[in-house]
Chains A and B, each alone.
Chain A
Amino acid sequence: KQEVTQIPAALSVPEGENLVLNCSFTDSAIYNLQWFRQDPGKGLTSLLLIQSSQREQTSGRLNASLDKSSGRSTLYIAASQPGDSATYLCAAPTHSNYQLIWGAGTKLIIKP
């Protein structure tokens, strides 16, 4: 059974720094892994989807990597901005019905 973990639960960094968010999963036979952003009290915005055959995906200042053998994915944010402050969640689909199994998220605060 897939389990997804995100550590740390919260992270605070000064504006302009590059940072890495971590996501671990237990089942390496993963179809894909998806990163989402959630602003307080809001819904989920999909950021990046990495297929199992891919090693990384990039969108603007965001780069997500996937290492199935170690059960890890990272989300790299370059040149962080206060507008990047949000909770970032990762999720992977189950094999049976593709429902997403979620980490609890990392709350990111970028200090001006």
Chain B
Amino acid sequence: DTGVSQDPRHKITKRGQNVTFRCDPISEHNRLYWYRQTLGQGPEFLTYFQNEAQLEKSRLLSDRFSAERPKGSFSTLEIQRTEQGDSAMYLCASSLGTRTDTQYFGPGTRLTVL
């Protein structure tokens, strides 16, 4: 168990560019969540996967955002045509998926859109 990892840790991009983030969950965890956190706020839910199926997307996830989890392992979050308002910390968490379970978080990817 090496914990949840995310790559890259930091990304600076120009407005209008596309970016992709990767999350590697704990290997036996079948649930994977994406959250977004802006400065001074708690994280906000974006989407989650049960194995390879994306089961729910927040209304925060506009059509510029897409997430995948092929084969139920790692996940990617892509943002197309980035806007300055997309600047935030993007957090990934994984869990076994029961209501009593802890969610384990990765270190996050900090996105800055210039």
Q: What CA separation (Å) do A59 and B19 show in the bound complex?
A: 39
Q: What residues of chain A lie closer than 8 Å to B45, measured between beta carbons?
A: 99-101
CA distance A49 to B98 in the complex (A): 14
- In the complex, which residues of chain B have a beta carbon less than 8 angstroms from the beta carbon of A101? 45
Q: How far is the CA of A103 from the CA of B95 in the complex (A)?
A: 20
Residue of A nearest to B58 (CB): A99
B48 in contact (CB, < 8 A)? yes
**Cα distance A102–B107 in the bound complex, in angstroms:** 17
User: Which of the residues B6, B40, B95, B104 comes within 8 Å of A98, measured between beta carbons?
Assistant: B95
Chain B residues, Cβ within 8 Å of A58: none
Interface assignment of B22: CB less than 8 Å from any CB of chain A:
no
Is A69 close to B, CB under 8 A? no
Question: How many of A's residues come within 8 Å of B, CB to CB?
Answer: 27
Residues in B with CB closer than 8 Å to A105 are 40-42
Say yes or no for B43: interface residue by CB 8 A criterion. Answer: yes
Q: Does B69 contact A (CB under 8 A)?
A: no
Does B97 lie at the interface of the complex (its beta carbon under 8 Å from any beta carbon of A)?
yes
Per the bound structure, the CA–CA distance linking A102 and B60 in Å amounts to: 16
Query: Would B108 and A43 count as touching, CB distance under 8 A?
Result: yes
* Chain A minimum-CB-distance residue to B45: A99
Interface centre among A4, A46, A98 (most CB of B within 10 A): A98
Contact of A66 with B by CB under 8 A: no
Interface residues of A (CB under 8 A from B): 4, 31-32, 34, 36, 41-46, 49, 51, 89, 91, 93, 95-105
